[in-house]
Amino acid sequence: MNTYFRLISFAKPLGIRVPKYILFTLLSIFFSLATLTLIAPMLEVLLGQLEASDLEIYSQKPAVDFNLEYVKHWFYFYLIRWKTELGSFTALMYVCGIILISSLFSNLFKYLSNVELAYIRTNSVTKLRKTIFDKVSSLHIGYFTNERKGDIMSRITNDVQQVEGSIVNSLTVIFREPATIIVYFIMLFAFSVELTLFTILVLPISGWMISGIAKRLKRKATESQESLGRIVNILDETLGGMRVVKAFTARTFVAGRFGQEVDHYGDVNIHMAKRNELASPLSEFLGVFFVVGILLYGGYLVLNGQSELDGPDFITYIAIFTQVLQPAKAISKSFTSIQRGLASGERIFAVIDTHSAITNSPNAVPVKEFKEAIELKAVSFAYEEEKVLKNISLRIEKGKTVALVGPSGGGKSTLADLIPRFYDPTQGEVLLDGKPLPAYEVESLRSLMGIVTQESILFNDTIFNNIAFGLPEASEEAVIRAARIANAHDFIMDMEQGYQTLIGERGGRLSGGQRQRLSIARAVLKNPPILILDEATSALDSESEYLVQEALTNLMKNRTSIVIAHRLSTIQHADEIVVVEKGRIVERGSHSSLLEREGLYKKLTLMQSV
């Protein structure tokens, strides 16, 4: 139930919506009931079934009172009057007109209540989807290495969609259907207490049988949503890696993976359908079973004169009771949908309740400028148990360029990731201007930094918007200036629409060098005092590397730079070169001083010069 109430809480603030929904629903129920209650007087008066004593009473105009009997007396009085003065057929026309008007109002208010329900549902789902997206975007980088991207996407899309249906069904189950049943039973009690008590004793059997089916659906619903998440993940991986799939003729392999998961998803849904679809025919049969039981029991009482009901009243009673079965059936059907919604809700809240490993400390303050140095003091780090960094101490003065080099897997990128607090060290601390990084607000800390990685992260948008990403107020002049510094302006102007050219998903319409120069232009526009360059030229050809390296040199002027480099020829100008191997700093110094030693740096340099 906690999951259910948390889902409902997303509908707040409800304002006037709920009172309007309740009012429209009650009016709809009232006019629907009024339509049915006209059956008895129509049969009794128009067909001459009313007893003489009752005819005499109802022929007198009733005194004003506020109860059900007054309404009944008022309608009988005018119906008798119409029949006497205008004839039976004209009176029948009047009654039919009232029935039509009553039905019109019933359906009008039902429509208005559904519109209010749509507002509540949309507000709930919008807030829920925004909440999970905000949560996902605020989680630490490590979360995304442990979770499948497709499964996260499925929770934001498919699971929220499933909850949407669940919320609608649950709100009708909470109010509309129970209110309909209560109002109808009040009327049934007004007709016959004995017969209504009989129906109340047998109805719970139906509810118990349907709820038993619904409870078994939740586990399968969770399994279904998890399978759908895996399908989305396979799709994302396949579409994103289509070049590799084609190159390695692996289409049959990925099709097999996809087909196997789709088959599993289908099997789970068939299993659910067998139980889900059982609820409707079962409730239908039980409804008919109860109607037959009431016909037998009530008919016996009426025929033997043991009931206060006469023939027309009994027919009206049966008509009203059959209408009770509709909301009862809707409730039983809603239980199955709610179970699926609850399963999806639990998957959503599993993400929302995840605590980010990187958060602002209670006393964190914003940082507006970088003044002195970045320092790592006895820093160690482990993703799980094995340490990736071991007792690293390093000081990077403002305005200096420090290059991190060494064999792959040595910990260079991990070390750089500690500076913008993508991760926090397992031991030791990282300081900015003498204060530990957790002393600063995370957003303001990262605003001081620009990052250019080996993989250019671009978006399916225009060149202009990709350069101005995160800076919506950037002027055209500033964007062009940044592109010139990044050696990107010329190729941009060669394109048909210049800066308004759409570059495709992940920049697919551009070359690797062009994508990288746009990433550099983005960093130039941000104008950060601290730069982190993670092997920004390692995947480029010679011509592109030259242009990108020149752009990087322009970018690094008068900035503090941490450069991770695979090609050692690109970092010879660095103020300090730090050689990292197996999580430790094994050498440090300038390019020339390191070459004088017979160490790892010289070995790596000789290997690349061959």
Is the confidence at residue 378, as pLDDT, over 90?
A: yes
Mean of pLDDT values over 204-228: 63
Paired with 432 in beta bridges are 374, 435
What amino acid occupies position 424?
D
Paired with 440 in beta bridges are 365
What six digits make up the tokens of 109?
A: 């208010």
78-87, 282-291, 385-394: the lowest-pLDDT one: 282-291
Residue range 2-352 forms a domain whose CATH class is: mainly alpha
Is the confidence at residue 213, as pLDDT, over 90?
A: no
Q: 430 by DSSP, 3-state: which?
A: strand
CA distance 423 to 414: 8
Read off the pLDDT band of 184 (50, 70, 90). confident
Q: Of 190, 272, 287, give the one whose Cα is nearest residue 223.
A: 272
Mean of pLDDT values over 538-562: 72
Q: What would the pLDDT profile of 129-141 be if each residue is shown by its tens digit?
A: 888 888 888 888 8
Same fold, 2-352 and 373-609: no
More confident residue, 143 or 499: 499
Mean of pLDDT values over 195-219: 62
Burial 480-492 (b: 16+ CB within 10 A, else e): bebbbbbbbbebb
In the block, tokens 């709610």 appear at 338
Can you give the residue ranges of every domain in the chain?
2-352, 373-609
Paired with 453 in beta bridges are 534
Q: What would the pLDDT profile of 76-111 be if each residue is shown by its tens digit?
A: 777 777 777 777 777 778 777 877 888 899 889 989
Q: Of 44, 391, 392, 332, give the one whose Cα is nearest residue 173.
A: 332
CA distance 549 to 573: 12
Is the confidence at residue 545, as pLDDT, over 80?
A: no
- DSSP letter at 498 equals G
Give the DSSP H/E element, type plus range, for residue 200: helix 193-215
Residue range 373-609 forms a domain whose CATH class is: alpha beta
In the block, tokens 């200036």 appear at 481
- Inter-residue contact 497 to 385 (CB < 8 Å): no
- Inter-residue contact 191 to 309 (CB < 8 Å): yes
Paired with 375 in beta bridges are 395, 431
Is the confidence at residue 572, as pLDDT, over 80?
A: yes
In the block, tokens 């129970």 appear at 178
CA distance 224 to 227: 5
Tell me the pLDDT of the chain averaged across its residues: 79
Give the DSSP H/E element, type plus range, for residue 242: helix 242-247
Read off the pLDDT band of 284 (50, 70, 90). low
From residue 243, alpha-carbon distances to 235, 400, 431, 583 in Å are 14, 40, 43, 34
CA distance 404 to 588: 9
Give the DSSP H/E element, type plus range, for residue 588: strand 584-589
CA distance 181 to 251: 57
Q: Of 350, 492, 375, 469, give the one whose Cα is nearest residue 428.
A: 375
Q: Which pLDDT value is given to residue 244?
A: 63
CA distance 291 to 310: 18
Exposure of 139 by Cβ count < 10 A (0-12 exposed, 13-18 middle, 19+ buried)?
middle
Sequence-separated (6 or more) residues with CB below 8 Å from residue 103 = 31, 32, 35
In the block, tokens 């949407």 appear at 164
**Size of the chain in residues:** 610
Question: How do strand 560-564 and strand 530-534 relate by DSSP bridges?
Answer: parallel
Paired with 394 in beta bridges are 376
Cβ neighbours, 10 Å, residue 439: 17
Read off the pLDDT band of 54 (50, 70, 90). low
Mean of pLDDT values over 361-374: 90
Mean of pLDDT values over 558-565: 86
- Inter-residue contact 243 to 173 (CB < 8 Å): no
CA distance 116 to 138: 33
Q: Maximum Cα–Cα distance for the chain, whole Å?
A: 125
Mean of pLDDT values over 572-590: 90
- Inter-residue contact 454 to 519 (CB < 8 Å): no
Is the confidence at residue 430, as pLDDT, over 60?
A: yes
Cβ neighbours, 10 Å, residue 51: 10
From residue 588, alpha-carbon distances to 138, 431, 601 in Å are 36, 20, 9
CA distance 110 to 29: 8
Q: Where are the alpha helices (DSSP H) in 87-140?
A: 88-138
CA distance 103 to 91: 18
CA distance 210 to 204: 10
- Inter-residue contact 228 to 162 (CB < 8 Å): no
Is the confidence at residue 218, as pLDDT, over 90?
A: no
21-25, 141-145, 416-420, 475-479: the lowest-pLDDT one: 141-145
Phi and psi (nearest 5°) for 15?
A: 55, -130
Q: Which pLDDT value is given to residue 233?
A: 76
Q: 388 by DSSP, 3-state: which?
A: strand
Read off the pLDDT band of 368 (50, 70, 90). confident
What six digits make up the tokens of 115?
A: 């519109």
Read off the pLDDT band of 249 (50, 70, 90). low
What amino acid occupies position 610?
V
Q: For the full predicted model, state whether its pTM sits above 0.75.
A: no
CA distance 69 to 578: 95
Q: What would the pLDDT profile of 484-542 be if each residue is shown by its tens digit?
A: 888 888 889 998 899 998 888 777 888 888 888 888 888 888 888 998 888 766 555 56
Q: 145 by DSSP, 3-state: which?
A: helix
Looking at the chain, the whole-number percentage of residues with pLDDT higher than 90 is: 12
